[in-house]
Structure 1
Amino acid sequence: MSRENREVGQQVRSWTVIRLSVWLSFSAIGFAAWGWVALSVGLGPAHASPVQDITVLERLSLLSLEQALHTSTLTSLSQPGLQPSERLQALTRSLTRSQVIYLGETHDSEWDHQIQLEVLQALQAHNPKLILAMEMFQRPYQRVLDRYLNRELSEAELVDRTEYPTRWGFPWELYAPILRFSQSKNIPLVALNTPTEVTRKVSRKGLESLTLADRRFIPPLSEIQLGPTGYRDRIQQIYTEMHQGKGNSDGLTRFFQAQVLWDETMADRIARAVVQYPQHQIVVLVGQGHLLYGDGIPDRVLRRLRGSYPEFSQTTLLLNPDPSLPLADPVTKRSIVDWLWHRTSEGSKP
């Protein structure tokens, strides 16, 4: 990338952080006011903050908007009638109203990870009670993340002891700035993923093959719901392409079981974090496929919390999604996610 393009990208990202930070700083429903949300959903004691003048908020949200949107655009699928000038304000409201925020990535996209970092920075600047939950680390290695956060382990030791190169494998430098920032701000880190050995075993032999030892880091099998039909249909398409049309029904069943186990394990850990840290907001970094139409993780988190937290809310945001993806499920008509954040030119790359 040319130096000029890199500088443009840096400038745009700076404006993005400024815009989010301004809104988070002044928003009446921001996490300065998280206490009100906590009270409304029964999450525990907190203090409400005064309501701000919405006209001031609207003016602040327009600062540098034209500059910031030169190389990226926001699209709200939950509020499709929004004008471009209203979208930052609405996104910030969505973020600050939600206890869980999902930032759906393409794993090898440097741009996606830069935006993730900037959203995390903007949120943390105005709400220190954050948790970062990551698909990139498997649940048996939670203690390693804790020790890294406490500066008991170096970054190199973190990589080695989580077996990151073999269990995740995407270039470490894509995620390193996010981990470094989290450590610097003492943001708790949560390992979400299922152990590779378990998902591999399920894909080969099925859920019924799991021993008690295999089940240590996954939810009870009774909580694993193999559906919905639309999700299975999308997984079947992936399976068919992987096997060039030569797969079989038993293989598809096991493949789908492994995918659902993956989703259920991460959903279980997120729901547990909500209960464990009721005053915190949880930012979740996962692949886009786990969020589409709510079928992967979001609905499974909601299922676990709906009874205890009837007003629990979450926001899904896809970073630079594949434009060929249908914006709504053809059967249920449900939107693919709440928000899309598109890169519109090369200038917005890191």
Structure 2
Amino acid sequence: AATVQQIIDAIGKSDAIFLGENHDDAVAHYFQSEIFKKTFDSYGKNRNVVLSMEMFERDVQTIVDEYLKDLITEKKFLDDSRPWNNYKNDYRPLVEYAKQNKLAVIAANAPRRYVNMVSRNGRDSINNLSPEAKKWLAPLPYASPSAEYAKKFNSLMGSVNGGDNHSVAKILDSQTLWDATMAFSIAERLKNNKNSLIIHVNGSFHTENRLGTAEQLLKYSPKAKVLVITMRSEDDFTKFDKAKYTDLGDFVILTDAKVPRSFK
């Protein structure tokens, strides 16, 4: 068992911290806010604490920045930045805390329209995009998924849809574009600001077992110190099955699945 203070201590020795969530887990969202605040309280004087988010896409970075600087209203920010449906309850507290404390927020993800392109037409389809559009993605060609990640993904997809191999391969390529682009967004910040301490929020599958976005980051920033925190919602959250959970992250936090979901 680990204490919150041990997690904060480990964060201080890291460059990029991945907080993997179930998107509808209210307890995980509360925990993320606490971790973000405690990280800033502990290290904000000496490190540039940055929030990075799967929930915003790279082409809205300017809009995010304008809101953080109070140049535009929250209504116009939300009108134009394509926030997730659960933004108000689940992610707004993080963004508002960053705004109050003048912390940067990275809109880390690949635009969904291009991820959708790859899932329909395969990874080579994005080569047809304009140079302007390609700026919103990881540098092309982006890396292939690792064998371990592909195996995990194929196992998940097989159980979801009976696994048409050709379409699953395209969906895996689109998932990997997500991973690579989020990783590249984090790597850019680490390269341009060596003193950054980046808290990145994403769906847990993207970083479980230090795969996906976490392993893609090490392709761009081989020396980055990465910490993976995975939050899992379980009915019997008081029982920690080491064999089942230990490899999911450097820290694995079980939350109570009986707590009402933050959205349906």
TM bin (shorter chain) = 0.7 to 0.9
- Cα distance in 1 for residues equivalent to 2:60 and 2:111: 9
1:198-347 paired onto structure 2 within 5 Å? 198-210=114-126, 211-213=128-130, 214-222=133-141, 224-243=142-161, 245=162, 247-306=163-222, 310=223, 312-321=224-233, 326-327=244-245, 335-343=247-255
Shift of 1:284: 0.6
Distance 1:185 1:284 in 2: 17
1:112: how far off?
1.1
Contact 2:233/2:255, CA 8 A, preserved across alignment: no
Q: How many Å apart are 1:216 and its aligned residue? A: 2.8
- Are 1:293 and 1:336, in contact at CA under 8 Å, matched by a contact in 2? yes
Report if the CA contact (8 A) 2:183-2:216 is conserved.
Answer: yes
Deviations 1:301-335 (A, max 9, x none): 112112xxx3x31211112355799336xxxxxx2
State the one-letter code of the partner of 1:212: L
Kept in 2: contact 1:142–1:190 (CA 8 A) = yes
* Partner Cα separation in structure 2 for residue 163 and residue 219 of structure 1: 20
Counterpart CA distance in 2 for 1:161 and 1:171 is 14
Structure 2 CA distance for aligned equivalents of residues 344 and 261 of structure 1: 32
Q: Which amino acid aligns with 2:248?
A: I
Kindly indicate whether residue 56 of structure 2 is the aligned counterpart of residue 137 of structure 1.
yes
Counterpart in the other structure of 1:161: 80
- Normalising by structure 2, we get a TM-score of 0.86
1:113 pairs with 2:29: yes
Residues matched between the structures, number: 250
Counterpart CA distance in 2 for 1:301 and 1:281 is: 14
One-letter code aligned to 1:218 = L
CA shift digits 1:229-260 (9 cap, x unpaired)? 221122113322332x1x42221111110011
What do residues 188-243 of structure 1 show as CA deviations (whole Å, max 9, x unaligned)? 01001111110101000001111232423112223x22222221122113322332
Aligned Cα RMSD in Å? 2.4
Distance 1:254 1:344 in 2: 34
Query: What's the TM-score once normalised by structure 1's chain length?
Result: 0.66
Gaps of 5+ in 2: none
Which amino acid in 1 is paired with 2:145?
G
C-alpha distance 296-153 of structure 1, shift in aligned 2 (>3 A)? same
Residue of structure 2 equivalent to 1:32: none
CA contact (8 A) 1:145 1:189 kept: yes
Give 1:276 deviation, angstroms.
Answer: 1.4
Q: Answer with 1 or 2: which has the greater Rg.
A: 1
Is the CA contact (8 Å cut-off) linking 1:139 and 1:193 kept in structure 2?
A: yes
Question: 1:127 & 1:241 partners in 2: Cα distance?
Answer: 43
Identity over the aligned pairs, expressed in percent? Answer: 22
Q: 2:58 and 2:4 mapped to 1: Cα distance?
A: 35
1: CA distance, partners of 2:139 / 2:215:
17
Q: Distance in 2 between matches of 1:260 and 1:194?
A: 10
Q: Does 1:179 align with 2:95?
A: yes
CA displacement, residues 29-56 of structure 1 (integer Å, 9 cap, x when unaligned): xxxxxxxxxxxxxxxxxxxxxxxxxxxx
Q: Which has the higher strand share?
A: 2
Contact persistence 2:207–2:228 (CA under 8 A) = yes
Give the Cα separation in 2 of the matches to 1:221 and 1:109: 34
Alignment counterpart, residue 106 of structure 2, candidates 169, 172, 190: 190
How far is 1:106 from its partner? 1.1
Larger mean CA deviation between 313-322 and 202-211 belongs to 313-322
Unaligned segments of structure 1, at least 5 residues: 1-73, 76-86, 329-334
What SS class does the counterpart of residue 319 from structure 1 fall into?
Answer: strand
